[in-house]
Every structure is written in structure tokens, then in C-alpha cells.
Chain A
Amino acid sequence: RKEVEQDPGPFNVPEGATVAFNCTYSNSASQSFFWYRQDCRKEPKLLMSVYSSGNEDGRFTAQLNRASQYISLLIRDSKLSDSATYLCVVPRNTGFQKLVFGTGTRLLVSP
């Protein structure tokens, strides 16, 4: 089993739709998690941190289910500008914080 698994997509949704991505992780010791956004041929940029059960920031909601070892990202009222790849990141605390990335989920929002 991969350490961090994501559905690569692509998820094709119309503007205004609600879309959710899931990410599963295998390291039960991980304490906090991140969602990064990556535009085509650009660097990853932090979207949200998830330290407890969840986090909300405007149209974006991240939830954490420790028992089932998955993290979700919900995007409401999708905009064209939300089209990007969303990377799930799980720190592995092996004496230092090593960030383990999923392969990313690609989102395409169409008019």
C-alpha cells in the first residue's frame, strides 16, 4: 500500500458545482496534514493545513478521519480558477518532518 494515495482524476465539474477529493494514508502516527494546490508547470502552494478534525476556509473545507486514516477536501461553488492539481501531504515524523506527497488529484472546472 502506498503511503499516501489519491485518485488522480481528472474530476470534470461545471462551474458552481461542489466537488470532494479523498486521500488515504498509511502512517497512523501522522499528526497533521496539508492540502497543496499545484497549477500546471508551477510549484505546489499551501492551500490548507489540517491539525485536528478539520478546517474551513471560505469555499474550502478539509476534514480528517483518523480512525479510517483519510483526509478529504471539499470545494463548494467551484470556480474556473479552481482548476488545478490538489496534492495531499502527510508528514512522516522520522526524527524530522518529511513531507510525503500523494500523486495529486486533477480538477477541471468548465463553464
Chain B
Amino acid sequence: DTGVSQDPRHKITKRGQNVTFRCDPISEHNRLYWYRQTLGQGPEFLTYFQNEAQLEKSRLLSDRFSAERPKGSFSTLEIQRTEQGDSAMYLCASSLRERVGMNTEAFFGQGTRLTVV
């Protein structure tokens, strides 16, 4: 399977614990995105990497959230001291840098569903 893969698919954690999610993008894609989605809402942007550089972080991403993409390959998203409000689907997507005048589509992984109890 050469698509975007995320691990784990599901995570249940107690409030206050730290969790880390992994995303492996499509191999030739240099752009990687993290989104969060709650029930009845569209995906909300969290952060973006071009190669290994994290170029933008949403205001949604509090100090408890950190993301890395060492060597421009896989990425990790860590949430420290989880809260019940962190319960959501965390989606990773990757894309190629756009061609001039056109935007390129992003391909999503199956997501990691986090439940904080």
C-alpha cells in the first residue's frame, strides 16, 4: 500500500497522559499536513510541513501539542497532558508542491481516533 498511513488507528488514554501519533506520507510527497476533525465538522488545520520545516501552526495548536518531521519523511504529533476536549480524529495528509497556477490535491491517511477518558 503506497498511500498515507497513520498509526495507531485508535487510541484511548486517560486524561493527563501523553500520546504520540505517527504519519507516513506518500514517499514522493514533500508536503505534510495535520488536521483534526470532530463529529459534524470538517477537518480543521493544525500544522504543515514542507520537507522537514514546520511552516505554519494553527492557533488551535496549544503549547501541549508538538509536531515534528525529522529528515522530511514521517511525522509525529504529540499531545501532552491530554484533556477530554482533545478527543477527535487526527488526520494526516500529504501532497506534492503545487504546479504554477494550480493547487495539488492532498491525500489523507485513515486517521487516528483519540478518546480521552
Where the two chains meet, the residues of A that have a C-beta atom closer than 8 Å to any C-beta of B are: 4, 8, 31-32, 34, 41-46, 49, 51, 87, 91, 93-104
Contacts and interface: CB of A to CB of B under 8 A. Distances in A.
Given A42-B110, A46-B105, A91-B103, A98 B42 contact: no
Contact of A96 (B31, B40, B102, B108): B31
Given A31-B103, A42-B110, A46-B105, A97 B41 contact: no
A94 B56 contact: yes
Contacts of A41: 89, 113
Nearest to A90: B103
A100 B45 CA distance: 7
Interface in B65-115: 89, 91, 93, 95, 98, 101-111, 113
20 contacts: A31-B102, A34-B103, A43-B108, A43-B109, A43-B111, A46-B105, A46-B107, A91-B103, A93-B103, A96-B48, A96-B56, A97-B31, A97-B103, A97-B104, A99-B33, A99-B93, A101-B35, A101-B42, A101-B43, A102-B42
